[in-house]
Each structure stands twice: as C-alpha cells, then as structure tokens.
Amino acid sequence: MLQLPGRRSIMERHAGHPSFHAVAVTAGAGLPHRDDPRAADPRRRGPIIAFAYGFHGETGQWWHDLVRNALNASGGRSYAQAWLADTFEVAEVHVHPDHQGRGVGRAIVLALTHQRLERTAVLSTQDADSPARRLYRRLGFADLLTRFSFPGTDPPYAVMGAVLPLRSEPGPPVAAPRLSCWPRRRLALTRPARPRRW
C-alpha cells in the first residue's frame, strides 16, 4: 500500500484504456442491494478496503511489451503469442492489511475477471513465496517467468498467467500450460473455444 501514492499517474493512465475494468470492496455494513438507490450513498458504503483493476493487453503498452519480449526470449514467439494475443492484464490488486487473509483478495480477483472475453489473464507479483502468489496459484495462475526484473525495480518479479475463466474453487497449483495459437477473433457475445485445463 505504501507504493500507491507514487503510482497515481500510472493508475490514471491505465484508467484511460477503453477496456479498463475495476472493482472495489468497502467496509460498509448492512448495505442495501446494489440496485437500491440508497446503495449510491457513500456514507453507507464505508471506506474502501480493497480494489483491483485491469484491462485488455495490447502491443504498445509498457508492461505488455516488456513481458512479450521476455516470453519470446524464454519460450519463443508462439509461446508469447499464446499467452498475450488475447489477454486481460491484471494491473493492480490491493487489500488493506487489516482485511488480508479473509478471502477478500480471492473474491476481488474473481470479480475482476468474471465474464471477461479474453482467453487468458496475466499479472506480475514479487517473485517470493507470499500470500498473494499462493492465492494466484490457487486461482489457476502459473509461473510464465520468474526472476524477472522490470526496469527501475529492485526485487525480482514472477509473471503469472491463467486460462480464463479462473478457478472459483481452490485447487492445487498448476504448471503453465502450453497454449496453442489461433487467429484472434473477438465476438461481442461469445467466447472463443478454450483449450482444456491441465
């Protein structure tokens, strides 16, 4: 959470992506149903305790291009294409420390990716055995890159990917599947065929 003030301009730029999607969790109690007009009253919602956002990844985006180049180098062009040709990039996931370990992170990532039309989801997290990384593995994410350094960062990162939809039930960690490429076809109301889960 300490990095958030310095990331404000990055987040504002991300919010400008046409496919930007964000979710937030508030600490309000006894809230009416979201369709109830009283739910719009910020005094009833309470403070935000978690938020996450992401967007469709595309060539020309800083993170996307760095990761594509690294995946090309580690697994070849078809490997990078399979993971990044039609992907939802989970850019930020934050849960206030007082609310961690209660399922909020899991719920917010599932809500963020629910009904996305992309084939895959990708994200980066510090390359350490952390609660966040274990959560991502339980959701079906697997390591695509490890010990990866973004320019200007000190700790190494892991880049992780999952085939959408994410696992809603906890399961054992998975290895990154070798996805095959197919032409990028996006239909507004239908999903492309999915590869089998491994």
Q: Where are the extended beta strands (E) located within the chain? A: 21-26, 48-56, 87-95, 120-126, 142-148, 157-163
Q: List beta partners, residue 161.
A: 122, 142
**102 Rama class: left (phi>0) / alpha (psi -120 to 50) / beta:** alpha
Query: What are the strands of the beta sheet with 142-148, ordered from one edge?
Result: 21-26, 48-56, 87-95, 120-126, 157-163, 142-148
Instruction: Tell me the residue ranges of DSSP E strands in 36-98.
Output: 48-56, 87-95
Told to judge if 136 belongs to the known catalytic residues of this protein, a careful annotator would answer yes
* Single-letter residue type at 48: I
Of the residues 53, 79, 136, 157, which is catalytic?
136
Catalytic site positions? 136
